[in-house]
Amino acid sequence: MRHTLKQPFQERRLFTERTVIAGIIILITFALLISRYFYLQVISHQSYLQQAEQNRIKYSRINPTRGLIYDRNGVLLAENITAYRLTMVEERVPDLEQGLQLISQIVSLDEVQLQSIRERLKFNPIFKPLTIKEKLTEQEVALFAVQKHQLKGFESEPYLIRKYIYPTELSHLMGYVGKISQAEFNNQNKDIYSADDYFGKTGLEKYHEKALHGIPGQLVTEINAQGKQMSQHIAQPPVNGTNLKLTIDIELQQAAYQAFAEETGSAIAVAIDTGAILAMVSKPGYDTNQFITGISQKDFKALTSSPEKPLFDRSLKGGYEPGSTIKPYIALAGLYHDLIDKDDTMYSVGVYQLPNQERKYHDWKQGGHGEVDVIDSLAESVNVFFYDLAYRLGIDRIHEFLKPFKLGQLTGIDTAGEKRGILPSRSWKEANRNMIWFPGETVITGIGQGYFVITPIQMAQALTILAGKGRVAPLHLVQQEPIISNLPMDIREEDWQTVHEGMTQVINAPNGTGTSIRSADYLIAGKSGTSQVYGKNEEDIYKKDEELPKHLRNHALFIAFAPADAPELAVVVVAEHGASGTRAAAPIARQIIDSYMEKHHE
């Protein structure tokens, strides 16, 4: 039997080492506990106090009411009505799929909509309400109320939704609101906008979004440990959106829209003294109320595939050659530069040729108009007179003279979507075509063809200046104090009067091109024009547009102001593929002017 000798020294050393190690571990543990205690009680005290407070206090957003929109006479155009929407808080739903299937039977959700909800849930916090369906019908609200006990986590709640009273007639002018997109939300102040807000998408709703939207308020709710509401108060009241009062006269707007009948195009009516737009129509329009809660794919496809392009705002974005409507401005430029006077005449044989060139520039009237002066040339729209005058002016002087009239430029109107046109010049052609300017291009510029492109809103601004004899009143849609200025050129009164007389003779002279809209009650001054859709060859130059298919006919233009002897109203009309300004566009202008005169000159 073997005995092991005791080693007291080694045993004590081993015991001591183990004791030290255990002590160190205990000290480290206590140090960790103390540091954690310090962190929780001192460093994180405020954070946990806030969390505890949040468990007791709930802060809710109070949405502001979107501003209303009225016409100039106080007629309501855009309002907010009460609707109901269905929301869901995912963490409160015991069985998500079962809940979605049951709710889909109550509020009519198809599989595509259900799949969309599932996708949105991936990016929505489980504690945050998610909108399942908006604008519930009365029947859906009632059915949900009956079945609510089976649908934990789902709620039906009232909210305000936009409604347009004249959705089609004002579709392009007013625009519409829709759910804010992610890109739009990212660019907004998060203290003002939430991910479920509505946002102006087009027109006035977009341009004046910040004013119309308002500022949200805050509701404070105190709850106890059982989650029961103890008290509630408004910590910060919401600031509702600003109401807008427009310059539009809804009666004149409706008259202008109806005047087009089956035609498509644009019409703008302006108060000459202030620049206030009384009517601005783009035909055809569309139902803006369809877009508020989301238009169906079927309805959207019908709009986007329509050959009439109802979503296209012709008044602000439609680009057209001005055609013969530019002739009054060319005449005024010739008078201003002393290249012609009221009594100068020329003999029109129906064609014009530049020196040492074979190309012929044709008049609309075969054989020409004979001996004409500037007033005759405006009344009868004599191309040859303006070919020659434009050539003598030169493109540089034409460009500089027309620029202050805002032709081919942004007018700065107070709405969204305006497009820039083209006021041709040497520098423009070099920059955009990398080519030099040719004399023949100056010739056709004199009758509003070639590179010239303007929008109806630009035509309206230019006409307002022309009718006001150089008084510049910026066009606007929201009522404001106009800032009036004058053209930078010092144009003689007799030159303004000569051009006005020529435009008056368009309607009232026996040989005028617009005699069909002459009025026995008041004088109208005007000018017709055609905007080329495609170029005609030498053989077809005198072929009537009515013989062509509709889509190949020229656009018909007409500008007018009335009364001619004391101008109040300026009207611009573009009838797309209308062929003739006097036959298609002028009657529309006459109906608009009649509607205005009946109301203001009884």
Indicate whether 367 pLDDT > 70.
yes
Can you tell me the distance from the alpha carbon of 124 to that of 118, in angstroms, rounded to the nearest whole number? 10
Among 50-59, 316-325, 487-496, the least confident range: 50-59
Q: Is residue 75 pLDDT above 80, yes or no?
A: yes
Class of the 250-600 domain? alpha beta
Would you place residue 48 in the very low, low, confident or very high pLDDT band (cuts 50, 70, 90)? low
DSSP tag of 454: B
pLDDT in tens, 420-472: 999 999 999 999 999 999 999 999 999 999 999 999 999 999 999 999 999 99
Q: Residue 406 is encoded by which pair of tokens? A: 């805002």
pLDDT of amino acid 116: 83
Which of 588 and 367 is assigned the larger pLDDT? Answer: 588
- 8 A C-beta contact, residue 204 and residue 175: yes
DSSP string over 313-340: -HHHH--B--GGGGHHHHHHHHHHTTS-
Entry pTM:
0.84
Provide the mean pLDDT of the chain.
88
Q: pLDDT tens across 404-430, in order?
A: 999 999 999 999 999 999 999 999 999
| 45 pLDDT tier (thresholds 50, 70, 90) | low
Rounded CA-CA distance 72/245 in Å is: 6
pLDDT at 86: 87
Least confident stretch, 109-123, 379-393, 528-542: 528-542
3-state secondary structure of 566: coil
How much is the pLDDT for 107?
Answer: 85
> Which of 315, 324, 531, 595 is labelled catalytic?
324
CB atoms within 10 A of CB 588: 27
Region(s) of the chain under CATH 3.90.1310.10: 59-245
Position with higher pLDDT, 59 vs 175: 175
Q: Where exactly does CATH 3.40.710.10 map onto the chain?
A: 250-600
pLDDT at residue 228, as a whole number: 64
Q: Per residue in 218-240, pLDDT tens?
A: 888 777 665 566 677 788 888 99
pLDDT tens per residue across span 294-311: 888 889 999 999 999 999
The answer to whether 253 touches 591, Cβ cutoff 8 Å, is: no
Q: Spell out a b/e string for 528-563, using b for 16 or more CB atoms within 10 Å of the CB, else e.
A: bbbbebeeeeeeeeeeebeebeeeebbbbbbbbbbb
Give the residue-averaged pLDDT of 258-276. Answer: 95
Q: Which of 2-16, 78-92, 257-271 has the highest mean pLDDT?
A: 257-271
What's the pLDDT score for residue 100? Answer: 87
pLDDT tens, position by position, 481-512: 889 999 999 999 999 999 999 999 999 999 99
Answer yes or no: is pLDDT of 565 > 80: yes
Q: What is the pLDDT of residues 378-402, one digit of tens each?
A: 999 999 999 999 999 999 999 999 9
* Model confidence at 53: pLDDT above 60: no
pLDDT, residue 206, reads 95
Would you list the DSSP string of 178-233?
Answer: EEPPHHHHHTS-TTT--TT-EEE-SHHHHHTHHHHH-B-EEEEEEE-TT--EEEEE
CATH 3.90.110.10 matches 59-245: no
Q: What is the pLDDT of residues 76-96, one digit of tens each?
A: 999 999 888 888 888 888 888
Active site residue 324: yes
Q: H/E/C letters for each residue in 439-452?
A: HHHHHHHCCCCCCC
In this prediction, residue 324 carries a pLDDT of 93
